[in-house]
Amino acid sequence: MSAPEGPLVVGVDSSTQSTKVLVVDAATGVVVARGQAPHEVSTGTGRESDPERWWDALGAALRECGEAARSAAAVSVAGQQHGLVTLDAHGRPVRPALLWNDLRSAPQRDQLVERLGGARVWAERVGSVPPPSFTVTKWLWLREHEPEAAEATAAVRLPHDFLTERLTGEPVTDRGDASGTGWWAGSTERYDEEILELAGLRRRLLPRVLAAGEAAGTVREGLPLPAGTLVATGTGDNMAAALGLGLRAGQPVLSLGTSGTVYAVSGERPADPTGTVTGFADARTGWLPLATTLNCTLAVDRIAALLGLDREAVEPGGELAVLPFLDGERTPHLPYAAGLLSGLRHETTGGQLLQAAYDGAVFALLRALERVLGPEPDGAEPITLIGGGARGTAWRETVRRLSGRAVRVPEAEQHVALGAAAQAAGLLLGEDPVTTARRWDTARGPSYPALERDEATWARLASALGDADTLLSGRR
């Protein structure tokens, strides 16, 4: 590989399962080195992880990058959102972190929503009606179930805050990741004292919220990066992915992973009282309305396995409606649902049934996208398709057919780490990180033209969803 044209920057993606590191040429966006190290996640009644292992994984991933990492001029850390990291007075974890997908705090979530005055108050003040993934619900769970651990806590951090503070020694966070806690209010862009009081959390335990483009500090001596290296604010993983794609306002993104996610950058603060759309801040000065479905690639792959088919072995035709809600569903809010199938006939083939499962998963995501984009979305804007499913022909073609929109599939895959790298480069060069990502052409990839929307399938699934909601209403 030729010598880099500009300074090198490091982008970190500390996710649920692993830490991934990219070393990127700040001038061109060329990735010059990569590293990755796994995390351990508990598989008991909750989902927990030792933050010290995140720190170890960061060091291992940086060492894998070799001399390129040791030559970096700036670094930024993006991390999984919502995780509750509790530290003692010496900065050591009091207990394993409660991760975003630890939903034991559902009862505490209900308490908090009621105590503040209901869903509409939360939406108007915070921007989101908190689901059990939000950090504020986890803190209340900890106070009620492990009061000794809560009492021993001298600092509360998010995963990216923890790693940034280990690098710099400074207790800081950013508005994007803070907006997923439930105790940072989008209406004021400050920590909300009333919510902190309801949760029993002292303000002094929280980090300072940095402004977009502000440095978190510099790397300390004795760490796996050069001392004095600039450290950007960092942010949450969804906010970093938006930076990594160089998103303009209104550009829809559909992420196809184990769960499905839809989001778009917006200049208007979201406030959805139904709780479908979480009203995150982005990593700059705007907003990132986002919605999530639980059942995406994993659910469809499970149905393919039950049928004994390859995941691409779909066939057109039939009058099936499949709602693959194998784990309940978050969007739509049907937590007690199971998978539902209607329209089965003697002549139905396995390939048609598999295609109907794709249709049901994509339908749920596109319905959520409608709420994310608002009442008058620009239907001409192409959907950017990312995540593992974006590489699958069946997923891509189902999105095209049911959305009526063009689809773009970026060649780059690690958009969270790329977004963190763009944030680091922006700090180093005095440039907006979105401008940086666009200059790097991170969204480059093939585009597929729009198809006429399959209204018959859309109507069939809408009817099936209405029937499912009626059926399940008596079980709630």
Q: Please write down the long-range contacts of 301-307, taking CB distance under 8 Å and 24 or more positions apart.
A: 302/326, 303/339, 303/353, 303/354, 303/357, 304/354, 304/357, 307/350, 307/353, 307/354
Residues 385, 369: contact at Cβ < 8 Å?
Answer: no
CB atoms within 10 A of CB 288: 27
Residue 237 annotated among the catalytic residues of the structure: yes
- Distances in Å between the Cα of 50 and the Cα atoms of 13, 40, 78 are 17, 8, 17
Contact criterion met (CB below 8 Å) for 402 and 370: no
| Length of the chain measured in residues | 476
Find out whether the peptide bond into 159 is cis, omega within 30 degrees of 0.
no
How many Cβ atoms from other residues are within 10 Å of residue 16's Cβ?
Answer: 16
State how far the Cα of 13 lies from the Cα of 134, in Å rounded to an integer.
20
Catalytic residue among 237, 272, 282, 359: 237
Q: Is 75 helix (H, G, I), strand (E, B) or coil?
A: strand
Beta pairing class for 31-38 and 18-25:
antiparallel
Q: Which residues participate in catalysis according to the annotation? A: 237
